Structure 1
């Protein structure tokens, strides 16, 4: 009996030990399994949007993929051209463009592969954010389970935010998603090193410097917005992390030098850049329909709208078209209320800093992430993808506050129920949003247009899909209805003229439409698709469609009306494109004098190699070489910053000079 009793006791002890072991493992592992599950759910919900189509910024940025995969295999020369000739930002964004080589073979048929990769990157970003938030808790000496769960909840809610859907389901916004990947990776490496700061070792410094340096470098080569990464690390240092304790003076000096190099210098650089924009605001905003003051007042309202739609989402509020957002001034009540709200939020966060820094952390993180794209830089007013990382820390701060409140009042189950219900709400709205993005293109375009009837882009998008379905009359009605809501919408009137020509409308109506275009183009606040539409009208003119109504003089007069618009002519590339278009009309008419006049004007606007090559072709066909040699001397091409592209263009430039000397 004693032997049996001993064996029973031993088995119970072993069972207890094993149970404790697995219980401990589950406590520590379950939060990670939770965030992995949420990442999987996110991928599942986003897959309903993969069947969506291309959008307005996809075509100018990804068009080079046509040549990369033109022969059914990758063309090495076209690859280098595509990767290093980007002009979406001042640095060309080569890392982002290179990433499209992985999944861009479907261009221009469908974006399914690209959107699938975007979604996978988004899920990976959720895991990286979990790692960042977990380390934030670890550095505050939280229990490991608490740090892991708060990180999992913060990253999980962030993954399910419907406000991020347009950033993931618009192909070209890979630039936003991937640059955020590098920023999160950089912050994670920084925090890993930061945990060992103060110890007599170089490893901490190397991890911190490597994280911020590598994350910023790769990030800005993906999208320039990543330049704020050092400032985000500074926000964490100021509002969350405990100041490091050093033993030696050398360590304190090293920390000061680190802050100067990685915090103060980047902040000063961005500050100088923004001040330069303010100093040159008259010229910088000449191409916009709003002034610097109007932009700042409007952005005060926009930022509140972002927060409202982030935390109280509506599927129908999300989409790619927001160019109809109202412009506010200092006398607008919504702008005054919004600005007062931000001022009050700043005062409250600063006043509470001694008891809790969570409001200050959330406010500063949100402000810094919007520092470039939602401040003085003359960008468009509203884009949802600007919030991709902006909401990460505000969500985390809110969850931490709720967790501490629940601990003090022992209401953990109630808070868990509220958070669970809210998570289901977010997942439901995200499903509605992704389904909308991935629905039938024509039906989706109609829904977006109904939500934004005053959006020029929404009207053009719907009209494009209706035209593709041979519903040209309906497309014309949409363009006309949108033009009624947008005064002087010259681009819409021009497209309306082109569709009216295709439909063979009466001559009196065509003439009235042409006169409307000539009135509106010099005053148009937007410049969407003007040269493209002129090219289509030129095709109708060459094919003698439109009942012979469109003639060379009409096209020249319309192009000149566009040039009379300072918002259009103020952009050198637009000015060059219009002059090249006008030159093409005279080339067809074999009129050398006016052809050269417009080609020289195009060169004056943009002395590009392409414009020089076109000029050389024209003069060669006319048997004139001396003039071209003189033109080459007077117009040296603008060389790109990219060394590979510059070297290639310089080689072509030398070849062109050789040809001109031979012709002479």
Structure 2
């Protein structure tokens, strides 16, 4: 292609990036939401104010979102905090920059993909390079403006997803480029060299991506599907490319089998699902329906369909409970069959469908994650758009009904831009966003609770229209079947603020839920918040009621380490019962031996009682957990406590 034509597309790409930035600008004034709080605001390890080796190591290993800690993502949050403090605006600007970089990488990757596609279709001669560039640009522009991608930009903690995909897109681009060089190679040496570089791109992209989020392990799968559908993993002469089969055996098939073997013991036991309101079976029934909804929200989004919260979607209990469950399976198998059927005639359609489902292999199968989150479509949306726009725009110079197809593609992009702008404006103010979400989703416990929480903050617990509205949302949230006890917790904090109020009915509602529903992390967070509120004397309820709530939760099968530790805190702070505190901390350590906080707490109890042998045992265990010196200060403090002898904890 002539250089001036290439520059034309690069100029168009630059304009697309500027337009995307302009559309997102209103959302830069918004605040933190939902999981931003445990991962950023409450995660003191990333609150770096002075640069030091220890501070950066602690920040890198601080993420509560994953056992792998996602260190690169955490380090970027810490860097934001060091230079701009706790303000959410700069955090969101960083996310926007990552999104724009991903857009540029996506365009480059798609151009390379379509070059491979042109080689695939060379015998037919039906690929026009300018048309192919238009397809790459249209998919990139639509993806940049796609409303379902908004959370990866304005929901700060979802930088983990967008940063991960930056390495995925870069690795995939590099692989496709080297794959083209393998096909164009003049010698075995050149072909082998290109294959080694292709493997390196996959390996480096996967490893670096994992430091932001585990989703990058799907990079070899994306590359495999592209190669399989476009070329059948063959050489230019049509013979099997054995080096590629070896590459994928080592980088995809063997790791997949090993990962599955490792994962099964963690997902098959019923205990793995103890904090979920669904089982493994019901999750597998539900996810095809969820994937069908994702497609609708991607291609035909409306203001009412997109949301931070989708907890109104309940797990399926049968193929017709709800009926959309069966529809989800029908759509999923129909699209898979379409991809197989159209592999030769319309390989880009097949690849788009394959990428869409591949992108959900981790989040829509057997791992006990929550059922629905829009940001999980960040890469999947590329597959969706590639499939649809390959039909609308195509790569041939002559297509049927070009004006109609082009108009549909243009209308989709304009609709995406307008709705993303509307959503960015809604995200510009936390309270405004929360109330919109609650009013649109009257069956979402989280949306209604969040609106109430922010209204309570605005009211400062004083009688006002804001507090009246908060009560409205809290009552509605609490009444939704299957909702957690967060709303009851908030109602108690309002009713008993500074003086005990009429709280009997609220406690009864909380106890009823804790006795029969699976105990969720939200329930435990509510109990911890009530304990702290009572300790600070901001809440004046009877501690005996809170103890009953704890005991109801603990009566459920297999209480988690976090719940056991929460009751230990209650016993220490409100009952002043040290033996009970010690008992439940010991149980928490047994349940979660890798949680350093529980070992630190029980070691302090042992030190205060002069049980030096037990203190030493905990110090030894903490040293084994002490990666890169992150626990040095706490271990030194414990050693000093042990030296000073018994003291009231």
Scaled by the length of structure 1, the TM-score of the pair is 0.86
Cα pair distance change 1:177/1:640, threshold 3 Å: farther
Tell me the equivalent position of 1:603.
589
- What residue in structure 2 maps to residue 128 of structure 1? 105
Change over 3 Å in CA distance of 1:619–1:255 after alignment to 2: closer
Distance 2:238 2:140 in 1: 38
Matched, 1:573 2:568: no
Partner residue in 2 for 1:496: 491
Q: In 1, are the aligned partners of 2:107 and 2:137 still within 8 Å (CA)?
A: yes
What's the counterpart of residue 399 of structure 1? 389
Q: What's the CA shift for 1:163? A: 0.6
Could you tell me how far apart the structure 1 residues matched to 2:180 and 2:543 are?
71
1:83 aligns with 2:60: yes
Compute the displacement of 1:326 (Å): 2.3
Matched with 1:519 is 512
Distance verdict in 2 for CA 1:276–1:343, change over 3 Å: farther
In the other structure, the counterpart of 2:200 is 210
d(CA) in 2 for partners of 1:50, 1:276: 43
Select the residue among 533, 537, 548 that pairs with 1:557. 548
Q: CA deviation at 1:226?
A: 0.8
| Number of equivalent positions | 624
Separation in 2, partners of 1:149, 1:310:
21
- Is the contact between residue 524 and residue 562 of structure 2 (CA under 8 Å) also seen in structure 1? no
Task: Name the CA distance, whole Å, in 2 between partners of 1:34 and 1:290.
Answer: 47
Distance 1:266 1:651, change over 3 A: same
From 392, 405, 426, give the equivalent of 1:415.
405
Q: 1:70 to 1:104 in 2, by over 3 A?
A: closer
> What SS does structure 2 have at the residue aligned with 1:316?
coil
Q: 1 CA distance for matches of 2:244 and 2:534?
A: 69
Contact 2:132 2:394 in 1 (8 A): no
The alignment status of 1:306 with 2:308, answered yes or no, reads no
**2:435–2:451 Cα contact (<8 Å) kept:** yes
Asked if 1:637 corresponds to 2:621, the answer is yes
SS of aligned partner of 2:371: coil
Between stretches 140-149 and 425-434, larger displacement belongs to 140-149
Change (3 A) 1:143 1:576: same
- Structure possessing the higher radius of gyration over alpha carbons: 1
Could you say if the C-alpha distance between residues 103 and 519 of structure 1 is closer, same or farther in structure 2, counting changes exceeding 3 Å? same
Alignment match of 1:57 (pick from 32, 35, 48): 35
The farther-off stretch of 381-390 and 93-102 is: 93-102
Is the alpha carbon distance of 1:616 and 1:255 closer, same or farther for their aligned partners in structure 2, counting shifts above 3 Å? closer
Residue-by-residue CA offset, 1:367-416 (whole Å, 9 max, x unaligned): 11000001111100000000001021231232223334974445434433
Give the structure 2 partner of residue 35 of structure 1.
Answer: 13
> 1:374 aligns to what SS in structure 2?
coil
- Cα distance in 1 between the residues matched to 2:400 and 2:537: 80
Change (3 A) 1:70 1:126: closer
Structure-2 change in CA distance of 1:495 and 1:262 (3 Å): same
Change (3 A) 1:401 1:612: closer
Q: Please say if 1:614 is aligned against 2:604.
A: no
TM-score, reference length from structure 2: 0.88
Which residue matches 1:8?
Answer: none
Corresponding position of 1:267: 256
CA distance in 2, matches of 1:248, 1:520: 63
Closer, same or farther: CA 629–394 of 1 in aligned 2, 3 Å: same
> What is the correspondence of 1:288-307 to structure 2 with a 5 Å cutoff?
288-307=276-295
Task: Tell me, yes or no, if the aligned pair for 2:48 and 2:81 is still in contact at 8 Å.
Answer: no
Partner in structure 2 of residue 389 of structure 1: 379
CA distance in 2, matches of 1:29, 1:235: 31
3-state SS of paired residue (1:345)? helix
Show CA shifts across 1:276-307 (max 9, x none): 555x1422222211111211121111111110
CA 1:649/1:237 → structure 2, altered by over 3 Å: closer, same or farther?
A: same
Q: How far, CA to CA, are the matches of 1:451 and 1:112 in structure 2?
A: 26
Partner of 1:5: none
